[in-house]
Amino acid sequence: MVLNDPSLLQDQCYIDGQWVSANSGETIAIANPANHEIIGHVPVMGATETLVAIEAANKALPAWRALTAKERSSKLRRWFELLIENADDLALLMTTEQGKPLAEARGEVAYAASFIEWFAEEAKRVYGDTIPGHQADKRLTVIKQPVGVTAAITPWNFPAAMITRKAAPALAAGCTMVVKPAPQTPFTALALAELAHRAGIPAGVFSVVTGDAIAIGNTLCDSPIVRKLSFTGSTAVGIKLMQQCAPTLKKMSLELGGNAPFIVFDDADLDAAVDGAMIAKYRNAGQTCVCANRIYVQAGVYDAFIQKFAEAVSKLKVGAGTEQGVTTGPLINADAVTKVQRHLDDAVSKGASIVVGGKPHNLGGYFFEPTIMRDVDKSMLVAREETFGPLAPVFKFESVDDVIKQANDTEFGLAAYFYGRDISLVYKVAEALEYGMVGVNTGLISNEVAPFGGIKSSGLGREGSKFGIEEYLEMKYICMSV
Ligand code: ADP
């Protein structure tokens, strides 16, 4: 990996505006999932260093929140510009540690940057309220204030965007933040810290701590100084963190697992539905929490959809994300490959058949063939569990009511998609789906201007949009007697 700016590859943590090693001096090697080569090493930090980062965030808080919104906004704006200026390096770094194709990594850098740009703007629009008094001598106002020191724990599938979607609204609101990135993708996080430093974001306002997930997580959860935790990851870990945060009653934002249905009705534009399914299923090799996990196609177009879908999937090119023309990179690790294989074997053993793909790719390692299965039913694991890989199970359904029932028959409620053209059906289905986000005739719904988040076991709170900054604000009611 040759970066235009080698100083973006940082191998120390960024705490209180300084690059620091672990107290123990211990480091851990980070490998490229495409070829297993070691990219570099990062510190293995634990409770002690995390406490230092929390203290630094607390110390930096009064001055940061005292800045005018416009002053915070201009620093964030500079951070945004630096992401864009360094997009090629950030994308290469991301592809090298995460595996996604370079074009997707570039897309993620733009997406990550868009949150910083958006919240730099939203910083200036944190409005309060005045309320007509309940008595003649009373004047009632509501002001919004930053919650204080915050923390973020982020996943590997979007190594940049999952950090900026949390840090940008936090900093815009006047909060400070300690980030624990995923162990698989620390370098993107550290490059973001380097750019935050260059943007003039003051020491302690944004720190990144790598290392022992449990020790760092416990310290962030137990700390009475940390007033909010924002987490993106699995439902099991999200529940654990919520339990750990209960004694200090932290505010929480949780973006957890999904099990997105993708429904194609008889009257859908099939070519558009195939395009949507390709994006919703195979983006990031199927490793996004809003990936289509269950594809339901109405009986009248079942065979026709599968034929077109198979043609499109056959054109995908598997390989290292840095290679020209590659559309599907490796999965993140061996466990991810095992899970896809387990879901596939389970479905085939219960009667599903493979249309395309169906096995680990002959490149070996963590590469898996983009796969479509047909004649899938609800007795199979793929109906209930998130696969998080390039495996598309296609279910057949007859009636609208039946598919809505099946689509909602899950503990999860993050994203859902459907394709259809009957306007009354469109509205009915959009309302009936028990999900935080619904894509109608589109397979791509994430952007900085819209509220991202789920219901049920998919989480709490919303990120992005005008609502995203509210998660980092407390409301204060002032009752004045005049
Ligand atoms: P995934 O299976 O996709 O890696 P996880 O929920 O395990 O999802 O991980 C998401 C993030 O949560 C990562 O940064 C990981 O290190 C962190 N994490 C995992 N377990 C814990 C824990 N017990 N305490 C704190 N953080 C954790």
In three-state form (DSSP H/G/I as H, E/B as E, the rest C), the secondary structure along 438-457 is EEECCCCCCCCCCCECCEEC
Cα separation, 62 vs 254, in Å, equals: 27
Give the pLDDT of residue 180: 98
The whole-number pLDDT of residue 291 equals 97
Q: Are strands 13-15 and 18-20 parallel, antiparallel or unpaired?
A: antiparallel
Per-residue confidence (pLDDT) for residue 169, from 0 to 100: 98
Percent of the chain exceeding pLDDT 70 equals: 100
Q: Name all residues whose Cβ lies below 6 A of ligand 1.
A: 153-155, 180, 182-183, 213-214, 217, 233-234, 237, 240
Indicate the SS3 state at residue 24. coil
Residue written as token pair 């819209």: 450
CB 176 within 8 A of CB 205: yes
Angle at 350 between CA 345 and CA 352, to 5 degrees: 75
Specify whether the CB–CB gap between 33 and 330 falls below 8 A.
yes
Per-residue pLDDT of 231-264, as tens digits, reads: 999 999 999 999 999 999 999 999 999 999 999 9
Nearest-CA neighbor of 158 among 215, 109, 218? 109
pLDDT for 336 equals 98
- Is 255 noted as a catalytic residue in this protein? yes
Measured distance CA(211)–CA(31) in Å, rounded: 15
d(CA 187, CA 208): 10
Averaged over 469-476, what is the pLDDT?
98
Residue 393, class by beta-carbon neighbours within 10 Å (0-12 exposed, 13-18 middle, 19+ buried)?
buried
Q: pLDDT band for 338, please (50, 70, 90 cuts).
A: very high
Tell me which amino acid residue 442 is.
T
Closest atom of ligand 1 to 181 CA is: 14
* Phi/psi of residue 296, nearest 5 degrees: -110, 125
Secondary structure element (H or E) that encloses residue 100, with its range: none
* Mean per-residue pLDDT of the chain: 98
Cα 309 to Cα 280: distance, rounded to the nearest angstrom: 12
For the chain, state the CA radius of gyration: 23
Q: List the structure tokens of 64.
A: 């940061």
Please enumerate in sequence order all residues whose Cβ is within 8 A of that of 61, keeping only pairs 6 or more positions apart, or say none.
146, 148, 149, 175, 176, 204
pLDDT confidence of residue 118 = 98
Q: How far, in Å, is the centroid of ligand 1 from the Cα of 213?
A: 7
Q: Give 459's pLDDT tier (boundaries 50, 70, 90).
A: very high
**Which ligand 1 atom sits closest to the C-alpha of 216?**
25
Nearest CA to ligand 1 atom 20: 237
- Report which ligand 1 atom has the smallest distance to the Cα of 183: 16
Tens digits of per-residue pLDDT, 361-416? 999 999 999 999 999 999 999 999 999 999 999 999 999 999 999 999 999 999 99
Token pair for residue 426? Answer: 């469109």
- The sign of the CA dihedral 202, 203, 204, 210 is positive
Per-residue model confidence (pLDDT) at position 278: 98
Q: Are strands 437-440 and 206-208 parallel, antiparallel or unpaired?
A: unpaired
Query: Choosing from 97, 104, 122, 255, which is the catalytic residue?
Result: 255
Distance (Å, whole) CA 52 – CA 478: 35
Enumerate helices (H) and strands (E) in the chain, giving the number of each: 14, 22
The reported pLDDT for the residue numbered 466 is: 97
Ligand 1 atom 25, closest CA? 217
Query: What is the identity of the amino acid at 186?
Result: P
At 321 the pLDDT is 98
State the distance from the centre of ligand 1 to the C-alpha of 306, rounded, in angstroms: 36
Order of strands across the sheet with 129-131?
129-131, 138-146, 473-481
218-230 pLDDT per residue, tens: 999 999 999 999 9
Residue 234 CA to ligand 1 center (angstroms) comes to: 7
CA-proximal residue: ligand 1, atom 18 (nearest): 213
What integer pLDDT is reported at residue 134 of this predicted model?
97
CB of 11 closer than 8 Å to CB of 22: no
Predicted confidence at residue 232, as pLDDT, reads 98
184 pLDDT band (50/70/90 cuts)?
A: very high
Q: How far is the CA of 346 from the centre of ligand 1 (A)?
A: 26
| 28, 98, 153, 185, best to mutate for ligand 1 pocket (most atoms within 8 Å of CB) | 153
Q: What is the mean pLDDT of residues 301-327?
A: 98
The ipTM value here is 0.98
Give the number of the atom of ligand 1 that is nearest the alpha carbon of residue 153.
Answer: 14
pLDDT range class, residue 38, cuts 50, 70, 90: very high
> Which residues have C-beta within 8 Å of that of residue 109, sequence separation ≥ 6?
83, 84, 87, 90, 91, 94, 160
What DSSP state is assigned to residue 318? B
Centre of ligand 1 to C-alpha 210, Å, is 12
Closest CA to 234 of 452, 471, 458, 413: 458
Q: What is the pLDDT of residues 276-300, one digit of tens each?
A: 999 999 999 999 999 999 999 999 9
pTM for this structure? 0.98
pLDDT band, residue 341 (cuts 50/70/90): very high
- Distance in Å, CA 403 to ligand 1 centroid: 33
Percentage of the chain surpassing pLDDT 90?
100
pLDDT at 256: 98
* pLDDT tens digit sequence for 193-218: 999 999 999 999 999 999 999 999 99
Mean per-residue pLDDT for 41-46? 98
Q: Whose CA is nearest to atom 27 of ligand 1?
A: 213
